[in-house]
Amino acid sequence: MLDCMTRRRWIADTWTETTASLKGEQAGHLARVLRAQPGQIFDVVANGFLHRAEIVTADEREVVFALHEELEAESALPVHLLMAVFKFDHMEWGMEKATELGVARITPVIARRTEKHLAQAAAKRVERWRRIVREASQQSRRSDVPEVDDPVTLKVALGMVSAERKLLLAETEQENSLKAALVGEVASVALAIGPEGGWAAEEIALFAESGWRSVTLGPRILRAETAAIAGLAVCAAML
C-alpha cells in the first residue's frame, strides 16, 4: 500500500483489457521530461480501476503500458456539487480543491447573479475545467476523475440531481448546520454554492420546490470557493 502511495499515478487516455495508453501532453511529459523507458513501473488508472502497470513502449505521442494487478483504491465522496459560475480564477481554484477533497461531480450553474460576460464565456471554459480536475485527480492520487457537466441554468441543473440529501449552502440560514444535516446514514449528497452576489430569492424558492434544504457553514460570509471547500470537508468528515 505504501508503494502505491508514493509511486507516480497516471490516468489513461485509452485502454483495452490488458493495456493502457497516455497520449498528447501526458505522453510528452512522461517521455520527454521524465524520460520514460520500457520496463518502468507506474500506477495507472484505466477505466476507473487502479493498476500497477509497466511501460511497454514510450514516445512523445504515446506511452503504452501493460496492465498488471489491480490495486486497492479509495472511492470518490458521493457528493455532487452545483457550483454557480463566478470569477473564473476563484472558481477554478475551488474546483481543483473540491477534486482533491473527493467530489464526484461538478455541475456549473448559470445563476441569476452570475456576471453576464462570465455566463457567455462559461461554455468555452469547460474543457479547461475538465483538464483542471483531471490534473488535480492525478496530483491527489485519486483513482477517478470527477465529472464536470456543461454549464446549465439552475432549472436544468436541479433536474440532473439524484442525490439522497440535497443541501443549499446559504449564508442567510442561521439554524440548520451542514454538519447536523449529515448525521445518520446518508448515501449521497448534493451541495449547491451560490455566486458572489448569492442566490436570488426566486432561485431559493426553486431549490425549496425541488426538495432542497438550506444549511449554514457558520456565521461568517464565505467566498464561494471557501464555501465549496468547507462544505466538502464537512462531507468528508461526516459521510
Is the dihedral angle over the CA atoms 25, 26, 27, 32 positive or is it negative? positive
Q: Does 232 bind ligand SAM (CB under 6 A)?
A: no
Residue type, 39: G
* C-beta of 43 vs 225, nearer to ligand SAM: 225
CA 200/CA 198 separation, integer angstroms: 7
CB of 213 to ligand SAM, least distance (A): 12
CB of 194 to ligand SAM, least distance (A): 2
Listed residue (167, 126, 132) closest to 149, CA to CA: 126
Output 90-93 pairs: Cβ under 8 A, ≥24 positions apart: 90/223, 90/224, 90/225, 91/224, 91/225, 92/128, 92/129, 92/132, 93/225
Q: Does 89 bind ligand SAM (CB under 6 A)?
A: no
For helices 88-100 and 116-139, give the axis angle rounded to 10 degrees.
Answer: 30
For 188, which DSSP code? -
CA 91/CA 111 separation, integer angstroms: 14
Write out the binding residues for ligand SAM, residues 153-182 only, by CB under 6 A.
169-171
Q: Which of 196, 204, 210, 213 binds ligand SAM (CB under 6 A)?
A: 196
Q: Segment near ligand SAM (CB under 6 A), from 38-46, 57-65, 118-126, 192-200?
A: 192-200
Q: Does 115 bind ligand SAM (CB under 6 A)?
A: no
CB of 210 to ligand SAM, least distance (A): 16
Q: Segment near ligand SAM (CB under 6 A), from 45-53, 70-78, 124-132, 193-201?
A: 193-201
* C-beta of 21 vs 216, nearer to ligand SAM: 216
Q: Does 218 bind ligand SAM (CB under 6 A)?
A: yes
Residue number with the smallest Cβ distance to ligand SAM:
194
Q: Which of 176, 197, 204, 239 binds ligand SAM (CB under 6 A)?
A: 197
CA 191/CA 163 separation, integer angstroms: 9
* C-beta of 146 vs 198, nearer to ligand SAM: 198
Quote the cell numbers at residue 160.
Answer: 440532473
* C-beta of 34 vs 205, nearer to ligand SAM: 205
Chain position carrying cell 439552475: 154
Q: Which of 216, 229, 232, 235 binds ligand SAM (CB under 6 A)?
A: 216
CA 215/CA 179 separation, integer angstroms: 9
Instruction: Write out the residues near ligand SAM by the rule CB under 6 A.
Output: 169-171, 193-194, 196-199, 216-218, 220-224, 227
